[in-house]
A and B are shown apart, each in its own frame.
Chain A
Amino acid sequence: MNDDHRSLTILIQEMLDGVLDDDQRADLMNRVELDDADRKLYLDQIATHTALQAVLADCLPQRVDSPNAIDAKSHSASTLNSRWPAVTTIASMAATILLLMCGVAYLGSQNSPVVPSVDKPHDTAHVAVVTQSVGAYDSDDIAIHSGQQVLPGQLNLNRGLVRLDFVSGACVVIEGPAKIEVVDKMRLILLRGVVTATIPEPAIGFVVDTETAHVVDLGTAFGVSVGEDGITDVCVFEGEVSVNRIGSKSDETALVREGQAVRASKQSPTIDSTEYDVTSFENAWPVNSGVLQTTGSIRFISPGPNFHPGNYKDNEHIVVFSERSDFILDDTIRVDMVDPGEYAKSRYQDKRTLPAGRRVTSYLLQFSAFPTEQFPKQKRSVRGQITFAQPIVGVIAGTRLLKESEAVFGNPNVAYPVPRAVEPRPEGEQRKGFDSVILAADQRTLILDLNVAPDKIDQLRVLVEADYSPISEL
């Protein structure tokens, strides 16, 4: 490398590091403008720098208390409630940048073939499509993008998460590192890694095979993991699956129901019951459930019979429960928020409505401050952000509408506490302690700042557009 080249490289890097003064910047611009080779070097270095920033940002869904959490408070003092007010735009930018930094690729944004079994669009032999990709790279460390079609064959995921929507309707999320063989629209083989699956009615009978287990869905949601040691764990979140031990003389079929878990290993000839532990599925399941990302103090609850808003106690997090999925409203329903902006109280007759016939999926977000022995009178305060894969069509935040919507979306076996509404800051009020709920302009992100007095609870019901599978066998 000659001296000119080296000095230009240093100048470019200093520019990228933000330490150039005006004279140095002018010098850089002059050189870049006048010389083709210098211009190429300048543009190459910028491209690499931008790519490095994109690649090296934290790329897996954020766990709780992430340092990358957006500070909702900084947004809440802005203008409220108009179509594109500053607050929603800023919130949208926050969401946009968040997504940018984490390399989340949405449906249809890319189409280049990157893994052996992922082919270019318009190939009619595909059995599934990548509909979400979160920091996902294949075995050659090439990024996997949503929109890519999956052919039968090996699919190795070095890291990250991908959601595959099979043409049969099955929705499977894979968490890397994972080795998968996609057999056909109704079957895959999991050699290593974690998958979670949601199986709608048309795909009942969907099979996940491992080296030691044959798992057949009977209309359900479940997770399967295969560790380095080859042990298969099966956890059933909803419904029922049947599990057979592969490679054993035993032809016993274990029926595994919601809230149960079984294990298959080479060390045991049978399918053995094990503790119901959803920890392994905590990354994959939210993607399966339509939650793209959470930051700050938001925790997505993996389903199970003992996890519901009535009995789940967490003083530190806003917890998210899946409620009804792909539900067709049989009557109009009132909601507190539809458009981007910050939630403010309004009169009942002024509430917006969603029409009958609309297909929605509902989630309940809850933050409680139950008294503890150590801190019986402590107020609790948390912030966080949640981004759904589908657009939010309505947010219910007031006690009356929460109660009304309970009849439609609530769990009939759960005693919901009253009151539990969020308390937005009244106009002109300066005191601390109010709640802030912002629906970002991307229509998918909620930014929350909730404050709860001892023994009280805040709840929000979020209705998102149902996730019609765009996949067909054509």
Chain B
Amino acid sequence: MTSDQYFLAVTAIQNRLHAYILSLLADPVAAQDVLQETNLVLIRKADDFQSDASFESWAYNTARFQVLAHLRDRKRDRLVLHEAFAEKLAPVAEVMAEETERRIQMLGGCVERLSDDHKALLHKRYGRETSITTLAEEAGKTTSAMKQMLYRIRNLLGACVEERLQEGTAG
């Protein structure tokens, strides 16, 4: 693997690494930090990567170590619980993360089926990361009503993705 290919591989795995790290940490803010730390390590250690090895395994392993390092650095009260959780979840989280790209492919079509209002709402929430409180204020709803609305839309999308994934598997 050339250095160009290596960098492109790091770029290509970002969504998957994000999903993986987020699931191990159960904390979206920490997950962003650890994703950046993982990227730094991946880039700094580019020369250590054996080109006959699996890049994905290398990247997930790096991410897992960064998750554990992050937990230890923060010396959380429940360090043992968090570490055990991350270690136990890591193998299944990797399988889930590898599915992310397919989900992204399917999701595009599912989002298109939504009403324009719902699309705009999702775009604000996920594309621009507008807080639920702000969304609620803009829409003149309570925070709880906004949460409910997003919950329903996500359920619709989740069902749509599952359906399309099943169709893909069946096909």
Contacts and interface: CB of A to CB of B under 8 A. Distances in A.
Interface of A: 9-10, 13, 15-18, 20, 22, 25-26, 28-30, 32-33, 39, 42-58, 84, 89, 92-93, 96-97, 99-100, 103, 105-110, 112, 114, 137, 140-143, 158, 391, 441-443
Given A47-B19, A141-B112, 10 more contacts: A28-B26, A53-B18, A53-B127, A57-B126, A57-B127, A89-B43, A99-B14, A100-B14, A106-B12, A142-B109
B39 interface: yes
A47 B96 contact: yes
Contact of B11 (A43, A99, A110, A158): A99
A29 B43 contact: no
Interface residues of B, number: 62
18 contacts: A18-B27, A20-B27, A22-B78, A39-B89, A39-B92, A44-B96, A44-B158, A46-B22, A47-B97, A47-B103, A48-B103, A48-B157, A96-B11, A108-B8, A110-B101, A112-B105, A140-B109, A141-B109
B10 interface: yes
B66 interface: no
Contacts of B103: 47-48, 50-51
Interface string B63-91: 00000000000001110011011001100
A460 B126 CA distance: 36
A161 B63 CA distance: 32
Tell me if A's interface is mostly helix, strand, loop or mixed. helix
Contact of A106 (B8, B100, B122, B150): B8
B82 to A, nearest CB: 7
A178 B22 CA distance: 37
Interface in B6-65: 7-12, 14-15, 18-19, 22-23, 26-29, 36, 39-40, 43-44
B154 interface: yes
Contacts of A46: 19, 22-23, 96
Given A22-B77, A43-B96, A56 B11 contact: no
Among all A-B residue pairs, the 4 with the closest Cβ atoms: A141-B109, A100-B14, A56-B127, A50-B19
B151 A9 contact: yes
B81 A52 contact: no
Contacts of A100: 11, 14-15, 18
A323 B92 CA distance: 51
A33 B44 contact: no
A106 B108 CA distance: 19
Contact of A29 (B19, B85, B105, B122): B85
A46 to B, nearest CB: 5
